[in-house]
A and B are shown apart, each in its own frame.
Chain A
Amino acid sequence: MKSWMPTTRRTFLRASLAAAAAAHLPVALHAQQGSPIRRVIPSTREEIPIVGLGTWITFNVGDDRVLRDESAAVIAAFFEAGGRLIDSSPMYGSSQPVVGYGLQKLGRPSTLFSAEKVWTSSSAAGPPQIEQSRRFWGVPKFDLLQVHNLLTWKPHLQMLFQMKASGAVRYVGITTSEGRRHDLLEQIMRSEPIDFVQFSYNVVDREAEARLLPLASERGIAVIVNRPFRQGALTDRLKREKVPEWAAELGASSWAQLMLKFILSHPAVTVAIPATTRVDHVRENLSAAAGPMPDPVMRERISAHAKAL
């Protein structure tokens, strides 16, 4: 069994910078206490906070005014805590108009980094779907457009590259989730000039560590991690379990923070996108993006502990 060494802010900084240097992936850290750490998008060197906001299920509340206002409060707390990237998809029911509703209530924050997807089996239906999504969000254009779950990926990716060339979108990416079709994803990461890739990675599902994360570092592709809590299943499973005492050394007071820190401390990860319906949870998630991060030994300890429970 590996020995464990206490992780301090200094040792985390040293470990992260060393890991990033080894992976040729710059890591930018905010000096001020409490601000979320930022990572660099390799293709442009733009910095972005490492915790974003997912909208899968949580923002699909239809026309329910009470729940729409709750979602808007989550978006407000997200920006207040320093978050920037919000990710959605046409697949997520009413999530897109609900995001647009929240943004409108906030006066359309200029710090927003909008990440959307194209999700249709028809290549011809891609552009009108993107335009519909843009109207739902109420943004002039998206920062990032991704091909959702590799669906009809070839024609959609070519269309997105053309949009990027014409300035209609800033970044292009592709997504999968829950370990689906990693072989094809790897092939696309090797052959296509994408800026972002999105897949699932968490304390339990660690297949991405073997090939996808190292490949993203090697190819200079930013990584968005979805399902950081396995769609809430991990936090539900662990909510009755006591958070280990050693979590305090990382400034983590909950399992959610500990599991997020595990993901965020991988140097190839650019942003993780937990989804929530609660303001306290979004604040908790953003606070996990600040302070000390686990070193490789501590990461193994977090994963082993969570798996054992």
Chain B
Amino acid sequence: MSEWWTYRPEDFLLFSSRVYWRMFELHNAELWPLQVLTLAAGLIILLIAWRGIGARWLALILAMLWLLVGWSFLWNRYATINWAVAYVAPAFAIEGMLLLMIGSLLDALTFHRRGPARGIGYLILAFALAGYPLLSPLQGRSWASSEVFGIAPDPTVIATLGVMLLSRGRLLPVLWPIPVLWCLLSGMTLLTMGEPQASAPLAAVALAAAVWVGTIIRERGSPSPA
């Protein structure tokens, strides 16, 4: 369809920054105090990854949060101001189902990662849990509009990138595309809005992807055990 090429990213930015950030404020108010539970879930994920025991429970918790964010935030809220999100929300359901199948039902993820992926994985996971809610007040917006893990998409997706760096498993590559694409989409949206926060999802995905690719190259280059 020839007409589509005439559109630019700005043409698909349908809302103002004020509307965008108020959306998080309204969503937080509507779901409060669920944030306490989702942050606790985040700490449980961190603990499981650290101890390396209970990987299927980690995947189950993460899968539930992907489904929750996709349904409650993307489908019910964000899609009202951005029709394109109605096509993106099912991707969150797919990622949730993949986590459920690969990580929980098949128990195909383990957490015994070593090397740079381990350190960077924890760093990204900690940033998503503890750093992301601070971005709102640090940029002069209210605490009420903070993006919280398990409630807002960006910290949930970025935390998943951290978890994936910490994990191993033959089916792990299947889990990567949707988080990577979301970070690019969210980063581009914020960039088009002129928001400095665009650097958060873009830097997280760039770092995670670089470390993951580096890990794969290193593992393929190392001699196989006899």
Residues in A lying within 8 Å of B, measured CB to CB: 57-58, 60-64, 66-67, 91-94, 121, 149-152, 180-181, 231, 277
CB distance from A175 to the nearest CB of B (A): 12
CB distance from B82 to the nearest CB of A (A): 6
- With A63-B80, A180-B6 in contact, do A58 and B14 touch (Cβ < 8 Å)? no
Q: Is the CB of A149 within 8 A of B19?
A: no
Q: List 13 A-B contacts (CB under 8 A).
A: A60-B81, A62-B15, A62-B23, A63-B77, A67-B19, A91-B14, A93-B80, A94-B81, A149-B7, A152-B1, A152-B3, A181-B6, A231-B10
Taken residue by residue from 200 to 217, chain B's Cβ proximity to chain A (1 for < 8 Å, 0 otherwise) reads as: 000000000000000000
Complex CA distance for A303 and B22, rounded to whole angstroms: 37
Q: Is the CB of B23 within 8 A of A64?
A: yes
Contact for B15 among A93, A149, A180, A181, CB less than 8 A: A93
B22: A residues at CB distance < 8 A = 64, 66-67
Q: Is the CB of B16 within 8 A of A277?
A: yes
Q: Is the CB of A57 within 8 A of B14?
A: yes
How many B residues have CB within 8 A of the partner chain?
19
B106: A residues at CB distance < 8 A = none
B23: A residues at CB distance < 8 A = 62, 64
A61: B residues at CB distance < 8 A = 15, 19, 81
Q: From B26, which residue of chain A is reached at the shortest CB distance?
A: A64
Residues in B lying within 8 Å of A, measured CB to CB: 1, 3, 6-7, 10, 13-16, 18-19, 22-23, 26, 77, 80-83
Complex CA distance for A180 and B22, rounded to whole angstroms: 33
- With A62-B19, A64-B26 in contact, do A149 and B14 touch (Cβ < 8 Å)? no
Of A58, A60, A91, A180, most B-chain CB atoms within 10 Å? A60
Contact for A58 among B16, B82, B83, CB less than 8 A: B16
Q: Is the CB of B3 within 8 A of A149?
A: yes
B81: A residues at CB distance < 8 A = 60-62, 93-94
Name 14 extra pairs, CB < 8 A, besides A60-B81, A149-B7. Answer: A57-B13, A61-B81, A62-B23, A62-B81, A64-B19, A64-B26, A67-B18, A67-B19, A67-B22, A92-B14, A93-B83, A94-B80, A94-B81, A149-B3
A93: B residues at CB distance < 8 A = 14-15, 80-83
Complex CA distance for A45 and B80, rounded to whole angstroms: 39
